[in-house]
Amino acid sequence: MTLNDVWFIAIAVLWVGYFVLEGFDFGVGMLLPVLSRDGVERRVMINTIGPVWDGNEVWLLTAGGATFAAFPEWYASLFSGFYLPLFVILVALILRGVAFEYRGKRDSDRWRANWDKAIVFGSFVPALLWGVAFANIVRGVKLDASHEYVGTFWDLLNPYALLGGLVTLSLFATHGAIFVSLKTVGEIRVRARSIALQTGVVAAVLAVAFLVWTQVRSGSAVTIVMAALAALAFVGALGMVVAGREGWSFGLSAAAIGLAVASLFVVLYPDVLPSTLDPANSLTVTNAAASPKTLGIMTWVAVIFLPVVLVYQSWSYWVFRRRIGVQDIPA
């Protein structure tokens, strides 16, 4: 195994972490008008992710930075070819972050309602478009011999990619509902469990269709096993919701998302961005990688600082582990 392979695995791990962690707070944001009945309940829902949502976004920044440093050719082709959807995701994430900080700056119901809409929008759009983007990466795009994307924006909206977007959207909604049920008490918890089952059934159907399509296209024995384990974990998560075991349900839901995302990277390897025009034009872990010296320096930096980040984030989740309810919100 070379450093190219190590950093491909590292980037895969970062994206798995991002989808698992940011996935549930996207879900909470999307379900804000569905699960809450008044301003106090909306505050309860926002408080469930308040201490962690910005830390979860660090996984995205780290994944993007690692891609830029370890595979600059991949980064250049990806961010130029996917410029418009990635720009829309960026705008949505900025608007969402501002909304979390600004909704409480004025004592006005209309003010808070408008920022709550921004939270819903800023959660819905990335949840959908990340699935579209990753499905296109796995499917391949129109790369010419110089590794330039020569397709159009509409080429990215193919049936396979759109199905991928619906999968991430429904999975994140279910993941978020399970998280709310894990973190709250009272009526919100009951409603969250009900919504988790409803969205979970839809997500299961869409995810199975997407994973089967992926396996038919370019699967292997390893990815079939991973996809099957992901499906079993998700079914187990829904079963734990019925049993009222939210902790187990959330863990199994996280495992299902993690296994599904990891299986896509296994399908992709050794390519990082396949070309649908000519396989010879594809970007791989070899021709898209940075120099060995760069990868070596990055490896030492990761070995030193990654454990610190993981310990700190784990500690923050432990500190804010208690369930909350409307009784915890001051008048």
What are 59-115's pLDDT values in tens digits? 999 999 999 999 999 999 988 888 999 999 999 999 999 999 998 888 888 999 999
pLDDT of residue 20: 95
Percent of the chain scored above 90 by pLDDT? 69
Does residue 329 form part of some domain? no
Does residue 326 form part of some domain? no
Q: Which domain holds residue 173?
A: 3-319
What are 199-210's pLDDT values in tens digits? 999 999 999 999
Q: What is the pTM of this model?
A: 0.93
Find out whether 23 and 173 touch, Cβ atoms under 8 Å.
no
Query: pLDDT category, 45, cuts 50, 70, 90?
Result: very high
Does residue 330 form part of some domain? no
Q: Which helix (H) or strand (E) holds 273?
A: strand 271-273
Find out whether 258 and 19 touch, Cβ atoms under 8 Å.
yes
Does residue 72 form part of some domain? yes
CATH of the domain at 176: 1.20.1630.10
Does residue 328 form part of some domain? no
Of 149, 144, 176, 178, nearest in space to 249 by CA: 178
Q: Tally the domains of the chain.
A: 1
Mean predicted confidence (pLDDT) in 243-272: 93
CA distance 134 to 94: 21
Helix, strand, coil percent content, the chain, rounded in steps of 5: 80, 5, 15
Question: Taking 80 as the threshold, does the pLDDT of residue 331 lie above it?
Answer: no
Does residue 312 form part of some domain? yes
Structure tokens at 95: 């608007």
